[in-house]
Amino acid sequence: MNSVIDITDLSVKEIDSLINTAMDMHQNPEKYSSVCKGKKLAAMFFEPSTRTRLSFEAAMLELGGSVLSVHSSATSSASKGESINDTSKVVSCYADIMAMRHPLEGAPAVAAVSASIPVINAGDGGHCHPTQTLTDLCTIKSEKGVINGLTVGFCGDLKYGRTVHSLISALARYENVRVVLISPDELKIPEYVKEGPLKNMEFSETDNLEKALPELDVLYMTRVQQERFADREQYERLRDVYILDTEKLKSAKEDMIILHPLPRVNEISVGVDADKRACYFKQVMWGKYMRMALIMLLLSGEHKGADLLEGASVTQKNCPNSRCISHTEQELPVYSKNGRCVWCDEELN
Amino acid sequence: MNSVIDITDLSVKEIDSLINTAMDMHQNPEKYSSVCKGKKLAAMFFEPSTRTRLSFEAAMLELGGSVLSVHSSATSSASKGESINDTSKVVSCYADIMAMRHPLEGAPAVAAVSASIPVINAGDGGHCHPTQTLTDLCTIKSEKGVINGLTVGFCGDLKYGRTVHSLISALARYENVRVVLISPDELKIPEYVKEGPLKNMEFSETDNLEKALPELDVLYMTRVQQERFADREQYERLRDVYILDTEKLKSAKEDMIILHPLPRVNEISVGVDADKRACYFKQVMWGKYMRMALIMLLLSGEHKGADLLEGASVTQKNCPNSRCISHTEQELPVYSKNGRCVWCDEELN
Amino acid sequence: MNSVIDITDLSVKEIDSLINTAMDMHQNPEKYSSVCKGKKLAAMFFEPSTRTRLSFEAAMLELGGSVLSVHSSATSSASKGESINDTSKVVSCYADIMAMRHPLEGAPAVAAVSASIPVINAGDGGHCHPTQTLTDLCTIKSEKGVINGLTVGFCGDLKYGRTVHSLISALARYENVRVVLISPDELKIPEYVKEGPLKNMEFSETDNLEKALPELDVLYMTRVQQERFADREQYERLRDVYILDTEKLKSAKEDMIILHPLPRVNEISVGVDADKRACYFKQVMWGKYMRMALIMLLLSGEHKGADLLEGASVTQKNCPNSRCISHTEQELPVYSKNGRCVWCDEELN
């Protein structure tokens, strides 16, 4: 499979090579300014995500290629009920590579199986968002020089934060990365992450951002969304505890870096932006270069990932995940691999 | 007039030449990769139609040109009430050629009269969709080698199916094409098509898809939309009868080809996609090449169609078609030609 | 500051030079066809304005550059509450120059302070729309040969018409321009315009379009919007008085020119379009060339405007303008300069 749906579709070696390419692109942009001449990226955004869409589009343009853009289901044939399978086959006639954002989990995986061009998952519900993780890794590597051996703190909503789970999975494949999990009880990291990627990592949990700060090399902030809480009062009490401001930052290392997947609401005070440790806008820049590197890799045909359906078998069970694409896609079988749905990765019981 | 509003705006000779160009483009894409360098296509989509829009945009990009894109009335000055006349004159300052999709019938014709650049009708309500017909003809020609002498079956909604009426009109201009009309009573072809293009063609009508299949060279499937039926039960009974699946296909010729204007809902089972006779995704590809060929033809200035208003005269009558652009466009006269509205082709009584 | 938020950010000398460049672009487009090769314009449209967006996009494409396009808050991260500050910093990673349209007044000014790339105000509420004024000036200059010494009539809604106030400000910087203000009592020019730019100009007021016409060199028409009136009857009576038609035009000079910022609803009869004095579609063309010239100027780095916050000081007052960006932007201080809000130019009391 010449597609990237999950961050684990790329080997550590491939990721390191992508980071090196991204850093070279940053140094020598003109070297890459026409490597995709005559190629087209289809940016298929079935839910709004301006930042991610513009990042992909800017990436393709800086490679000398061009862009076909679909945003929001409201202006697409999706509203007439076209399946992901058909859309993917159609777009394969128009473009050379596709980036897909979709509210339903597994939609880009279905696209990858149907399309005759490479598919990049640009975020599917709460499932995966591999280019965000590539962005995070590249920013850490380029700002800190290494990934191995770092102490990385994650702060905020660790329960629902897809980018957190995905970055932990990726860090688990490096050496001696230590993880500090900073969150209120209501938003603690789920058990399956502890029993999964965190199993072989050193990690600790705390609800105290200020105490955790001094030991961190990287602080990864996330949004704490009001809708996760039962009552507003509790939300407002907790929200303020996890707002990063210049006062709290005083106890942090001089060379710590602050990351955030953006958009932020108010979990980082604007005053922090001027601090040299604030790297979340640099992260945006690295995101563009990593997407450029990934597009180049996939168009080169040199990435040969495992076939998604290899080792999977059709099951008569329904996927219990109500946000799985299998519930809406026409005539799509549920495939089981290691007891999980091959589309959305949910456990099939 | 240097525009294409209806398929009959192109001569058979022009269509054949477009098909030849499209086939050459498929063979030698690099020959055409910069013929529209510096030219701009305005894709004016006043209702959503992602597939058609992407086809036009991909076409222009593959010719080396670039694209200005307007989709959906919600994000356009149309919501402030700008007329088609004004929009067309404005866009003529920005682009070299325009493709217009509009829910009101006759809107692209008004644009063609107002604009100083060529206009391609990309679908106006139930009226015309000439590039779909060009797509269909090109697919038939390239897959079957000929158009003359074929037996072409149309299945599904033949009453409201704009693409069906238009393709029949186009096939009437070739020799010895035989037509088989397959539909439930509720969705039979209208009388005016029988008395028009079908008048000089051999054709038969049936409600039995399975019986009709063995004699067909081409099977053109269409969507059967629920909203066409009085009650849901009747819809569901009929829908299943006209679903094409691998079982029904067993009785068809080995070299029959299956076309569909897409998007499909479920009138062709996904299982059919793997059959070599399924050509509806190839059709998408030919659609792109035909649009490329048409854009090239119109930008060359070699197409000289009849002036839309030639031989027409202003009438004080209102057009009885409630979906005609004449009801909303500022100060637009209704013109009559051969007793029909020049904008939407409705009979004026 | 390398941005243009208000027309007064450009000197008269710069404006004259932009007009000369625009006129040369019109004569020799090929000279400019790759001056922005490899550069990207971000067209950030947080409210619909198709004409202005397409004008910017066409401008960038004709300079050989490419475009990233965001239209309407509905399909952007803005709906997740991203601040203008963050959006501007993010877009600075993707594009080389930004045009921003926003319903809140001062949003482009905030963007200009935050972004590391030049920002062009493409219209912020009722505040400014400097490229429209550049368009108007260029059309007058190229059609009349001069700006100095002309008699310019403004007709319609002079109370709320942002384009009117802005053009008067700009004309005040030329010599001997005489202004005739034609409007119903309800829509007369505000006092602050009389006491501001009109102070040193010769001007007169009237409610009679027909009487004013014969002396005009330029007639600038605007839309009279129904929502400005208390009752519908009054609106309809007044609207008709200010409709320009071929009959009224008989009393105008042979070489008068008619301008309109578009879109028009019905304040100019379609019959006038064929009159050689009607220049509102030529105006669209000049708008494109002026935007090309402005993009070139700003990307050249030769425009050095005053820093927006220079001489301003943070105040604890709230801005009384409810449409000012300061009410919604995260942690944005209100700055005061000469007693006015630096973002939206409202008087701070």
Residue A335's identity, in one-letter code, is Y
Does position A228 have pLDDT exceeding 80, yes or no?
Answer: no
pLDDT score, position A75: 44
The whole-number pLDDT of residue C75 equals 44
Question: Using one digit for the tens of pLDDT, what is the confidence trace for A177-223?
Answer: 999 999 998 899 999 999 999 999 999 999 999 999 999 999 999 98
Phi-psi bin for B151: left (phi > 0), alpha (psi -120 to 50), beta? beta
C249-272 burial, b at 16+ Cβ within 10 Å, e below that, comes to: beebeeebbbbbbbbbbebbbbeb
- In this predicted structure, the answer to whether residue C30 has a pLDDT above a threshold of 50 is yes
Across the interface, whether the CB atoms of C263 and B80 are under 8 A apart is answered: yes
For the stretch C219-238, pLDDT in tens is 999 988 776 677 788 787 77
Q: What is the mean pLDDT of residues A244-250?
A: 95
Predicted pLDDT at A117: 98
CB of A162 closer than 8 Å to CB of A128: yes
Residues of A in contact with B33 (CB under 8 A): 38
pLDDT at B74: 46
Residues 251-290, chain A, touching C (beta carbon < 8 A) = 262-266, 269-271, 273, 281, 284-285, 287-288
CA gap B154, B156 in Å, rounded: 7
Q: What is the pTM of this model?
A: 0.95
Verify whether residue B165 is a known catalytic residue.
no
Q: Give the residue numbers of C annotated as catalytic, written as ranges.
A: 51-52, 80, 101, 129
Across residues A251-267, what is the average pLDDT?
94
At A236, the pLDDT band (50, 70, 90 cuts) reads confident
CB-facing half-sphere around the CA of B223: CA atoms within 13 A:
15
Q: C73 falls in which pLDDT band (50, 70, 90)?
A: low
Both tokens of C267, joined, read: 């304040």
**pLDDT of the residue at B73:** 58
- For all residues of chain A together, what is the average pLDDT? 93
Average pLDDT over all residues of chain C? 93
Q: DSSP letters along A172-241, please?
A: TTSSS-EEEEE--GGGPPPHHHHHTGGGGSEEEEES-HHHHGGG-SEEEE----GGGSSSHHHHHHHHHH
Closest CA to A99 of A74, A65, A136, A138: A65
Nearest by CB to residue C270, choosing from B82, B92, B330, is: B330
Segments in chain B below pLDDT 70: 72-81, 227-228
Residues 6+ apart with CB under 8 A from B318: B326, B327, B334
The pLDDT-based confidence of A122 (bands split at 50, 70, 90) is very high
Q: What are phi and psi of C97, to 5 degrees?
A: -160, 150
pLDDT of residue C76: 46
A151 noted as active-site residue:
no
* A349, burial (CB in 10 Å: exposed 0-12, middle 13-18, buried 19+): exposed
What amino acid is encoded at A91 in this protein? V
CA distance A153 to A205: 10
Reported as a single tens digit per residue, the pLDDT across A33-79 is 999 999 999 999 998 889 999 999 999 999 999 999 998 654 444 44
Report the pLDDT value the prediction gives residue B160, as an integer from 0 to 100: 85
Q: Verify whether the Cβ–Cβ distance B270 to A330 is below 8 Å.
A: yes
What was the pLDDT predicted at B75?
43
ipTM: 0.94
What pLDDT does residue B76 have?
A: 45
**Domains defined along chain C, listed by start:** 7-128+287-341 (3.40.50.1370), 131-285 (3.40.50.1370)
User: pLDDT at residue A101 above 60?
Assistant: yes
* pLDDT average, residue stretch C32-46: 97
A243's enclosing H/E stretch is none
pLDDT reported for residue A259: 98
Q: With an 8 Å Cβ cutoff, are A94 and B66 in contact?
A: no
B53, B102, B127, B129: which is the annotated catalytic residue?
B129
